Amino acid sequence: MYPHDGFRELDRPECLRRLALVPVGRIVHTRQALPAVLPVNFSLDIDGAVLLRTAASSELVRAIDDSVVAFEADQVDPAARSGWSVVVTGAATVVTDPDEHARLVRTGPRSWVSAPREVFVRIAAELVTGRELVGDETAEGVPFTV
């Protein structure tokens, strides 16, 4: 059922289904040539792209526009020693098309902190990977890693 390491690889449809279950993930990008991670709320577009909504003047927009980034979301149950993690890797671009922007205002994610001028960032789902760990109740004292 599960390989010897206890993890099961998730296929793309299952990864996208699970991403739709959680409201917050983490965007991984480069800041001053070093990795940076920032928690963000998000939603998925109909093509599986990850959508963020943020202030147009934010440092995040300047850091990721036209860059390849990773986006990760997960769900973990420490008591059951189980969970899953999904990573989407792809190009991040600010949505500039007025019709697309208008559509996303209606259907896209809502900002948790509003700004005078907001933009949508689309992360193309070029590479989607995920894995699941189902807990082992006999493994007391064994570190849990998703």
pLDDT by residue, tens only, the chain of 146 residues: 445 578 899 999 999 999 999 999 999 999 989 999 999 999 999 999 999 999 989 989 999 989 999 999 999 999 888 999 999 999 999 999 999 999 999 999 988 887 889 999 999 999 999 999 976 654 444 444 45
Q: Which fold has domain 7-133?
A: Pnp Oxidase; Chain A (2.30.110)
Give strand ranges (E) for 1-66. Answer: 7-10, 24-31, 34-41, 43-44, 50-55
Q: What is the pTM of this model?
A: 0.85
Among left, alpha and beta (phi > 0; psi -120 to 50; other), residue 14 is alpha
Q: Under a CB-based contact definition with an 8 Å cutoff, are residues 99 and 28 in contact?
A: no
Written as one letter, the residue type at 47 is D
Give the model's pLDDT for residue 141: 44
Which residues in 30-41 are b (16+ Cβ under 10 Å) and which e? eeeeeeeebebb
Pairing of strands 82-94, 67-77: antiparallel
CB 92 within 8 A of CB 123: yes
CA 131/CA 85 separation, integer angstroms: 6
